[in-house]
Amino acid sequence: MFFATSIAILVTMALALARAVMGPSVYDRVLAVNMFGTKTALLLSVVAYLYGRPDFLDLALTYALINFVGVLAVLEFFQNRTVSPDLNKNDDVR
Amino acid sequence: MIVLFAIFLLTLLVISAIAIVRVKNLFVAVMLMGIFSLLMASTFFILDAADVALTEAAIGAGVSTIILLSALALTGEHERFATANRWLPLLVVTITTTTIIYATFDKPRLGDPEAPVHQHVAPWYLQNTPELIDIPNVVTAVLASFRGYDTLGEVFVVLTACIGVLFVLGARPEDAPKPAKQQGLRHHLIPKVVGRLLVPFIVLFGLYVQFHGDFGPGGGFQAGAIIATGIMLYAVLEGETAALKAVPSSLLMAMVAGGAILYGGVGVAAILLGGNFLDYSVLSSNPVDGQHLGILLVELGVGITVCGALLSIFHAFAAREHK
């Protein structure tokens, strides 16, 4: 049961990473990073139970609390700075 | 099964690392760095290094994204083309990589009980921690007591690094940011409400990590970063000026120096009470209680320095931005 859950989470992480790498817009990437953080918190909780050490849930809690701050910082960054939200033209990998 | 997880996570790690190197938009690189850090923390955790994973979580998820974004606000968003010759760096990287891969052939298998690292002092620490220090988390015992000198060195490295960054950025405490046109996210309802709710809980959780470090993963480094993140969240929501009013930069300077002095002071107190430098056993009539007290004070010093240093660097970036 735990294995199935963790595999599902790992697949979601891979999909989020694909979205973050491919883009194309800034918002896709912000959302991908946010989702990646949520999935990390979930993965850590599942693995903590697999290891039989629920006190390691502290780690997942840290992520749950702090991941949000990064996203807010990104929002503030975009508020103070008018960046072209469409990065299609010039951010493609070399 | 866990090995498969680790291999999968390491593959994702490699993919995101290559993407960070190849992407040319620096904002995208910052976002990918966030993912890289999350993957790194999961890998540490799967390798059963909960204290390291917690440090990576505390720094990588919040503080480093915020500081990288502050740096990005000062510079351009696009990487400049490298005009220099690319063959020399490629050669250096190839030679280094080959050497490292060659060195791994001699490396003992992961988790091998016969590995030299498990034969040296580690068994002694594991055997003697319950008797000498009597705390469940051996990592904290090693970090704060057995290897107290090393950690003292690390705290002074943090202090020196903070001083260096402040010099480079050229920010003085008087350079408080002028109230800019629109600071913070206070005009947006949802971030404001949710964020304000979160600030006290993040700080509370930081205090828990600080004082629970003897019993579970955590300690001064992680707690300092978490509390600094909480205050940075306040700054992001309410603007720099409000955050500086809550925690003035003179207090931050005092925190950076004071934490290091507290750590060193515990060592000097141990000398004055007739022990060796940083030998906490003499701090109380019962040696084990003395160790507990010493570890508590030392971790507090670490936490104060780290929190002060991260916040000073954050404000230094912001002050430069408003110049």
Q: Are residues B181 and B32 in the same domain?
A: no
Q: Does A63 touch chain B (CB under 8 A)?
A: yes
Q: Does A72 touch chain B (CB under 8 A)?
A: yes
Q: Are residues B145 and B58 in the same domain?
A: no
For chain B, how many structural domains are there in total?
2
Q: Are residues B116 and B145 in the same domain?
A: no
Q: Are residues B114 and B155 in the same domain?
A: no
Domain residues for the domain of B78 are 1-120
Q: Are residues B164 and B269 in the same domain?
A: yes
Contact A72, B236 (CB under 8 A): yes
DSSP string over B20-41: HHH--BHHHHHHHHHHHHHHHH
Q: Are residues B48 and B177 in the same domain?
A: no
Interface touch A32/B35, C-beta < 8 Å: yes
Q: Which A residues in the span 1-30 are in contact with B, Cβ-Cβ below 8 Å?
A: 3, 6, 10, 13-14, 16-17, 20-21, 23, 26, 29-30
> Under 8 Å CB-to-CB from B287, ≥6 apart: which residues?
B132, B281
Q: Are residues B182 and B322 in the same domain?
A: yes
The count of other CB atoms within 10 Å of the CB of residue B108 is 12
Nearest to A21 among B19, B27, B48 (CB): B19
Q: Are residues B171 and B68 in the same domain?
A: no
Q: For chain B, 323 residues long, give each residue's pLDDT as a single digit of tens.
A: 778 888 888 999 999 999 988 888 888 888 888 889 888 988 888 888 888 888 888 888 788 888 888 888 887 777 776 667 778 888 999 999 999 999 988 888 777 778 877 788 888 888 888 888 888 888 888 888 888 889 999 999 999 999 998 888 876 655 555 555 456 676 778 888 888 888 999 999 999 988 888 887 878 889 999 999 999 888 888 888 888 888 888 898 899 999 999 999 998 988 888 888 888 888 888 888 888 888 888 999 999 999 999 999 888 888 877 66
Domain ranges of chain A: 2-80
Q: Are residues B231 and B321 in the same domain?
A: yes
Interface touch B205/A30, C-beta < 8 Å: no
Does residue B300 belong to any structural domain of this protein?
yes
Q: Are residues B166 and B74 in the same domain?
A: no
Q: Are residues B74 and B191 in the same domain?
A: no
- A88: closest chain B residue by CA: B25
- CA angle, corner B159, sides to B158 and B163, nearest 5? 115
Residue with the two structure tokens 């705290």: B155
Nearest to B62 among A56, A70, A94 (CB): A70
Report in angstroms the alpha-carbon separations of B210 from B122, B148, B158, B201.
Answer: 24, 17, 18, 14
The count of other CB atoms within 10 Å of the CB of residue B318 is 25
Q: Are residues B223 and B176 in the same domain?
A: yes
